[in-house]
Amino acid sequence: MVFNSYTFIVFFLVMMGLYNLPISWKSRKIILLLGSYLFYAAWNPPFILLLWLSTVIDFFVGRALYTQENKAKKKALLVISLIGNLGMLCFFKYGGFLLENFVSLVNALGMDFHPAKPNIILPAGISFYTFTTLCYTIDMYKKESKPVKSLLDFSLFVTFFPHLVAGPIVRPPQLVPQFESPKKATRLQLYQGLFLLSLGLFMKVVLADTFLSGPADTVFSAKAALQTLDAWMGVLAFSGQIFFDFAGYSTCAIGVAACMGFTLPENFRYPYGATGFSDFWRRWHITLSAWLRDYLYIPIGGNRKGPVRTYINLMITMLLGGLWHGANWTFVVWGALHGLYLSIERFIQGMKPNAGLQNAQVAGVSMRLGFVKALFVFFLVNVTWVFFRAPDFTSAWQLLTAMFTQNSKGEIVLSTLQVISVSVIIVGMVLCHWRMRNTSVLATAGKLPSWLLGLVWAILLILLILSQESSGSFIYFQF
C-alpha cells in the first residue's frame, strides 16, 4: 500500500491502536511484523513469499557467516547469500533487460533468435529490501556487527513497513537495537512524526503529483521537437517531481516510524542546495549513497589505489548505482554522467591545495559564490535527469537538443498555468534548499511560534485534502 491512500490512513490508525496496547513487547513486535506483511501484501499478496524467503535465508546464512571460522566455507556461504539476493533481483528486475540485450547481441552476430518476451512483474521495493538484507550478510561476513538474536527481530528489521518498499535503506546497527527494548513514542516524537507525515504527503501529493507530474509527463512523452522553454520546464518539473516524490516518501517513512518511537536515518538533506557533486550525493538518497560507498566503492579499492583507480572505482560505483535505479541503458548513462561529474570535481579539487574542505561547507566561501555553485550543480543535475526520465536515447537526445538550441518552430505543449506553476515551485524549491542546507525541517519548525507553525501545518493539510490525488504510486516503487 502507499502512504498517500485512505487504506494507509486506516491501516496506520489501527496499527497505532494495536501497537500501543498494554501488552508484552514481544506481542507488540509480532503485531508490527504482521502489520508490515499486511502492508506489503496489500499490493500483491503472492510476493510476500519472496520477502519471507529472503528473510529466512539471510537470517540463517548471516548467523552461519558470523560463526564460521573456515574461510572457504565462509566464502561459500557469502556466495550463497549473494546469489540468493542478487539472483532474485536480477531475475525480477533485469531478466527482461538481459534477455533483450542478449537477443540484440546474437542477432548482431547473425543468429536468428527471437524468444517470447518474458512477462515478469517487478515486486515492489525489491531493490530496497535486497540491499537491506545484503548489508546484513556482508556485515556478518566481515564481523562488523553481531548477528541478530531472534528471527522476529530480524524479520522486523527487513520488513518494518515504513522503510520496506522505498527506504530509507537501513543498516542492522541503525534499526535492530531499537527492537531489543520496549519502545513507545514520546509525545514530542508523536507530534514530530505527525508533522513529518503531513509534510511528506504534501510534498508527494500536492507538489509532485498535482503540479509537477503533468508537465513532466507531457514533455517527456512529446513526439515532436519542443520549444526551448517547454523542454526546460519539463525537465525542471521532473527534477522537482522526483525530489518531492522520493523525499516525500522518506519524510513520511521517518514520520510514521517516529509515531511509534523508532528513528530511521535521514535520506535527503536539501540536495539542490549542494555546491558540488560529492556534496550532492551526501544529500540525495543518502542511505543508498552510503550503501554504495561502504559496500561497493570502498571494497573495490575506493581512493586507496592511486588516482586512476579512484576514477575507475568512482565510475563503476556510479554506473552500477545507475543500473540499480532501472534496467535500461538510459539509467546507466545517468550514472555515468554523475560518475563523470564526480571525477572531474575530484580532479579539479586535487589541483587545489586544501580544496577538499570547500565542497561540503560554504563557510569561508562567499554566500554568493556558493549559491552560483549550487545553481551550476543544479543545472548539470538537470541534464542527467533527462536520461533518467526519458524512455529511450532518441527522446533524450531530442529533448537535450530542444533545451540547448533555439527552435522557434518547436511545439508548445505546456499551458500558461503549467509554466507558472513549475516556475514558482522550482524557484521556491531551489531557494528553500539553499537556505535550509545546513539545518533541518524540525529545527526550523521548532523556531516558529506555535500559531505560525499551526497555520503552516493547516495549509499543508488543506492543500493535501483539496488536491484529491489519492492513489498515485511513488516513482521509487519501481526501482
Partner 1 sequence: MEHRSLRNACIVATVLVLAFLTFWELRIRSTKVGISYDDGAELWSHYRAKVYLPADQATVFIGSSRNKYDLDLETWEKRTGEKAIQLAFEGTSPVPALHDLANDSLFKGKLMIDVTEGLVLTTSPYNFKAIDGAIAYYKKQTPAQKFSFQVNRVLESQFVFLERDYYSIKALLNRIPLKERPGIQHEPYFPIDFGRITFGRQDKMTDRFVQDTNIQNQVKGIWAYFTKMAMKEPPPPQKSIDSIFTQIAADVKKIKARGGQVLFVRTPSTGPFYMGETMAFPRAQIWDHILQITEAPGIHFSDYPSLAGFQCPEFSHLSPKDAITYTNNLIDIIEAGKWWQFPHKSAGK
Enzyme catalytic residues? 325
Secondary structure (3-state) at 226: strand
CB of 182 to partner 1, least distance (A): 20
Alpha helical stretches, state H, 90-160? 95-108, 126-142, 151-159
- 159: nearest Cα among 314, 35, 257: 35
Site track for partner 1 across 177-196, x = CB under 8 A: ---------xxx-xxx-xx-
- 256: nearest Cα among 190, 168, 181: 190
CB of 403 to partner 1, least distance (A): 18
Count H helices and E strands in the chain, helices first.
22, 0
Cα–Cα distance measured from residue 109 to residue 103, given in angstroms and rounded to the nearest whole number: 10
Q: Would you count residue 471 as binding partner 1 (CB under 8 A)?
A: yes
Q: Which of residues 392-431 bind partner 1 (CB under 8 A)?
A: 411-417, 419-421
Helix (H) or strand (E) holding 372, with range, is helix 367-389
Q: Would you count residue 199 as binding partner 1 (CB under 8 A)?
A: no
Q: Would you count residue 132 as binding partner 1 (CB under 8 A)?
A: no
Number of Cβ within 10 Å of residue 224's Cβ equals: 10
Please say which residue, 27 or 415, places its beta carbon nearer to partner 1.
415
Q: Would you count residue 316 as binding partner 1 (CB under 8 A)?
A: no
Please say which residue, 8 or 59, places its beta carbon nearer to partner 1.
8
Residue count, binding to partner 1 (CB under 8 A)? 55
Instruction: Please list, in sequence order, all residues whose beta carbon lies within 8 angstroms of the beta carbon of residue 169, skipping any fewer than 6 positions away.
Output: 128, 131, 132, 135, 163, 287, 288, 291
Which span (295-303, 333-341, 347-355, 446-454) binds partner 1, by CB under 8 A? 446-454
Which triple of cell numbers denotes residue 117? 518476451
Which residue is listed with cell 515504513?
A: 162
Please say which residue, 355 or 412, places its beta carbon nearer to partner 1.
412
Please say which residue, 432 or 445, places its beta carbon nearer to partner 1.
445
Q: Would you count residue 453 as binding partner 1 (CB under 8 A)?
A: yes
Secondary structure (3-state) at 411: strand
The correct pick among 16, 41, 98, 152 for binding partner 1 (CB under 8 A) is 41
Number of Cβ within 10 Å of residue 465's Cβ equals: 11
Q: Which of residues 231-290 bind partner 1 (CB under 8 A)?
A: none
**Which residues of this protein are in contact with partner 1, per CB under 8 A?**
1-2, 5-10, 41-45, 186-188, 190-192, 194-195, 206, 210, 411-417, 419-421, 442-443, 445-446, 448, 450-451, 453-455, 457-458, 461-463, 465-471
